[in-house]
Amino acid sequence: MTCDDNTVLRYAESLALTLSRIGLRRMPARVLAALVTTHDGRLTAAELAARLSVSPAAVSGAVRDLERIRLVAKEREPGERRVHYRVDGVLWYTILFKRDRMTLRWRDASENGVAALGPDSPAGRRVAEMRDFLSFMLDEVGVMLERWNELREERNA
């Protein structure tokens, strides 16, 4: 089943709103949603500007932000001058990997906090609980990704 262009555009704006509510700035969220909802997951800056009814400068700043956090990749066809921005099927791995790195830093900072506060102090026990929960999350994400890869391979077989 194929949706009409207006339905796709409405969904892309809805997705962008959700992405901005969970922390992505508005324009990068709109660009990411536009890329995710295209057939091949890639558009030029001019195509993005036209699709979103924004200036090329707005697109440029947004894709720069998305490239920096590795949610969008830049590619150029051989012999072509135009740059395409691409999002692919491993976007969700990228997001989890980034979150995983942030969680690891937070867990390590918690470990330092336990040492600084003392493991037997009320504050030290609270920070130790935080550290233990973050360690648990890190372990579970690894197991979850392994299970996802198995499921994905089964679905694609």
Mean pLDDT, range 62-70, rounded to an integer: 90
pLDDT of residue 77: 82
More confident residue, 76 or 89: 76
CB 86 within 8 A of CB 73: yes
pLDDT above 70: residue 41: yes
Secondary structure (DSSP) of 82-146: -EEEE--TTHHHHHHHHHHHHHHHHHHHHHHHHHHH-TTSHHHHHHHHHHHHHHHHHHHHHHHHH
Q: Domain spanning 5-86: which CATH class is it, in words?
A: mainly alpha
Looking at 50-54, 85-89, 104-108, which range is the least confident one?
85-89
Provide the phi-psi class of 53: left if phi over 0, else alpha when psi is between -120 and 50, else beta.
left
Query: How far is residue 139 from each of residues 9, 53, 132, measured CA to CA in Å?
Result: 38, 43, 11
Q: Could you read off the pLDDT of 77-91 as tens digits, one per residue? A: 888 888 899 986 666
pLDDT above 80: residue 92: no
Q: Which of 102, 101, 30, 17 is nearest to 72 (CA)?
A: 30
CA–CA separation, 24 vs 38, rounded Å? 20
| Residue 103: pLDDT band with limits 50, 70, 90 | confident
Q: Where are the domains of the chain?
A: 5-86, 91-156
Q: Can you tell me whether residue 37 is helix, strand or coil?
A: coil
pLDDT of residue 89: 65
Fold of 91-156: Helix Hairpins (1.10.287)
**What is this structure's pTM?**
0.71
Q: Could you read off the pLDDT of 21-34 as tens digits, one per residue? A: 988 899 999 999 99
